[in-house]
Amino acid sequence: MQMWTDLSRKIMRGIALALGAAADAFEGKRAGDPFWVLRIIGYPKVTHANGHDMPKNDIGCGAHTDYGLLTLVNQDDDITALQVRNKSGEWISAPPIPGTFVCNIGDMLKILSNGLYGSTLHRVINSSPKYRVCVAYFYETNFDAAIEPLDICVKRTGGTKKFERAVYGEHLVSKVQTNFVKEDELNS
């Protein structure tokens, strides 16, 4: 997994410089020992099994933001299924471009940059007659890192911190619980 980690670290260095911070702003206690996850996700093809006249796929990935710093999304070249929500609130497709991957911004980078980089809402609907596979690499901060807006980003956005301090591991656990655990299980 070293290759993905190295690539993500390089992208984060570029983002740090673009924000006016030191190249290693996202290393050390923030992301020097990054938590990462590689997930291979299969999305079944469209069927009529749900009883509707029109083929409609009920199995996908609901609207969410990613939790950490960056996600590198490698998708099948010939199926458009990933959608992102733009600033006007419209869902737009992110069609695969062969030889490239999509890079999502996660919640921790939103906080660190005081919103200069937004964590984009996205979802997946596979309306194609083919099974879709995605390989997503999630590059996160250190598990126990306490994340808050960088001073330089606060300055650049009017001097006010827009986000509370968050401990990445706690944020991850709470999002996984709300995304994947059914409400009645949470209450039991």
Ligand X SMILES: O=C(O)CCC(=O)C(=O)O
CA pair distance 20, 37, nearest whole angstrom = 28
- Build a one-symbol-per-residue string for 31-60: x at contacts with ligand X by CB under 6 A, - elsewhere: --------x-x-------------------
Residue 187, judged by CB atoms within 10 A of its CB (0-12, 13-18, 19+), counts as: exposed
Judged by the rule CB under 5 A, the positions of this chain that interact with Fe ion are: 66
The residues in 122-161 that bind ligand X, with binding defined as CB under 6 A, are 122, 124, 134, 136
DSSP H helical ranges for the chain? 2-18, 28-31, 107-112, 151-156, 168-180, 183-187
66 lies in the site for ligand X, by CB under 6 A: yes
Token readout for 71 is: 């996600």
Token readout for 113 is: 């940059």
Select the residue whose beta carbon is closest to ligand X and give its number.
134
User: Rounded to the nearest whole angstrom, what is the least distance from the CB of residue 82 to ligand X in the complex?
Assistant: 4
69 lies in the site for ligand X, by CB under 6 A: no
Token readout for 125 is: 């609907």
Cα 166–chain centre separation: 17
70 lies in the site for ligand X, by CB under 6 A: no
User: Rounded to the nearest whole angstrom, what is the least distance from the CB of residue 20 to ligand X in the complex?
Assistant: 29
61 lies in the site for ligand X, by CB under 6 A: yes
DSSP E strands: which ranges in 131-171? 132-139, 146-147, 166-167
User: Rounded to the nearest whole angstrom, what is the least distance from the CB of residue 70 to ligand X in the complex?
Assistant: 12
Which residues form the interface with ligand X (CB under 6 A)?
A: 39, 41, 61, 66, 73, 75, 82, 122, 124, 134, 136
